[in-house]
Structure 1
Amino acid sequence: MDATDNSPVAYDLKTPTGLGADAARDIGAAARVLLADIFALYVKTKNFHWHMSGPHFRDYHLLLDDQSAEILAMTDPLAARGRALGAGTIKSVGDISRRQRLLDNDTDFIRPHEMLAELREDNLALVASMRSTHDVCDEYGDVATASLLENWIDETEKRVWFLFETLRGS
C-alpha cells in the first residue's frame, strides 16, 4: 500500500489475553458504556463549573473544577484497559451520546444548589454502574480492571460526600 492509498484497511484489533473472548466482549461492552457515562458526567460537571453563580461562586467553582479533573482522569485508563483486553472503546462524541445513561443538562440557568444536587445523584448512579462493571470483572477474574474500578468507586463516593455536605442544610 502506498502513502496515497486511502482505501479502508481491515485490522484485527483483538489483543491476546488470558481472560478469553467472552471476557473481552462482556467487560469491553460494560467499559464502553461506563466510559460514555464518565464523559457525560465530565462535560456536565464542567458545564456547571462554567455556569456557576451566586454567593458561593468561588468555592463551588473550584470544587467542580477539582471534581471534573478527577472524572476526566478516569477516561484514558479505562479506555486503555478495554483495549488491553482486546475490546474496542468509544470512538466519538456521537458514540458517547448513543451509549450514555446519565442525562445531559442544557438548561440556560440552574440554581447552584440544583447543580450540586444533580451532580451528587449522577455520581451516585456512576458508583452503581462501576459496581455493576466490577461484578462483570469478578465473573471473569479480571482483577486489573476491578482494581481500577475499586479506586474510582472510592473517589466517586468521596465526590458524593463532598456534594452532600456542601448541600447539607440548603
Structure 2
Amino acid sequence: MNSINIGIDSQDRQDIAAGLNQLLADSYSLYLKTHSFHWNVTGPMFNTLHLMFETQYTELALAVDVIAERVRALGERALGSYSAYAKRTEISEDNGVTDANEMLKQLLEGQEIVIRNARKLYPLVEKANDEATADLLTQRIQQHEKTAWMLRSMLA
C-alpha cells in the first residue's frame, strides 16, 4: 500500500483510528441492543417504542458505516467482529430485558456512553488538525444527544 500523506502524523492517525474504533464498537453494540429491543418490546407503548427503536437502529446502522470508512481513510483497519466490539464497549448486551421502561433506561445509558467516548477523542483530533474526524464526531454527538433527550423524555 502507498504511504499516506494527508497532513496528519502517522501516530496521530493511528491514535485517532483507535478512538474511532472505540466509537465503532460502542455504536455497533448500541445498534444490536436497540434492534433487539425493537423486536422484543411489549406493552401499552408497543407501537410508539417499536417505531422509535426502528428509527434509532436504522440511524446507527448508517453511522457505523461512516465511522468505519473514516478509520479506513486514516489508513487503519476497522473492527468488524462481535468479539472485538465486546472487548472495547461498556454497553451491556441485551440479556432478556422485557420491561419497556428498563429498555428506555438502558438505551439512554448506551447513548450517553457513546457521547462521552466520542467527546474524549476531540483533544487528539484538534491537536492533529483532523477536521474531517472532528466533523464526524460533532455530527455523532449531536445525534446521540438528541436521541438521549428523546429517551429521557419518554422516561419523564
Unaligned runs of 5+ in 2: none
Rounded Cα–Cα distance in structure 2 between residues aligned with 1:69 and 1:13:
35
Out of 15, 18, 22, the residue aligned to residue 26 of structure 1 is: 15
Is 2:152 the partner of 1:154? Answer: no
Misfit runs of 4+, over 4 Å: none
Q: Give the corresponding residue for 2:121.
A: 133
SS in structure 1 of the partner of residue 52 of structure 2: helix
Unaligned runs of 5+ in 1: 1-11
Q: Which has the higher helix share?
A: 2
2:57 maps to amino acid: S
TM value normalised by structure 1:
0.86
For residues 51 and 117 of structure 1, do their structure 2 counterparts lie closer, same or farther at Cα, with a shift above 3 Å needed? same
Q: Give the corresponding residue for 2:59.
A: 70
Q: CA deviation at 1:112?
A: 0.1
1:30 maps to amino acid: G
Q: Is the CA contact (8 Å cut-off) linking 2:26 and 2:89 kept in structure 1?
A: yes
For residues 15 and 75 of structure 1, do their structure 2 counterparts lie closer, same or farther at Cα, with a shift above 3 Å needed? farther
1:127 maps to amino acid: I
Aligned length: 156
Rounded Cα–Cα distance in structure 2 between residues aligned with 1:38 and 1:14:
29
Rounded Cα–Cα distance in structure 2 between residues aligned with 1:103 and 1:78:
21
Task: Name which of structure 1's ranges 90-99 and 158-167 shifts more when overlaid on structure 2.
Answer: 90-99
Q: Give the corresponding residue for 1:118.
A: 106
TM value normalised by structure 2:
0.94
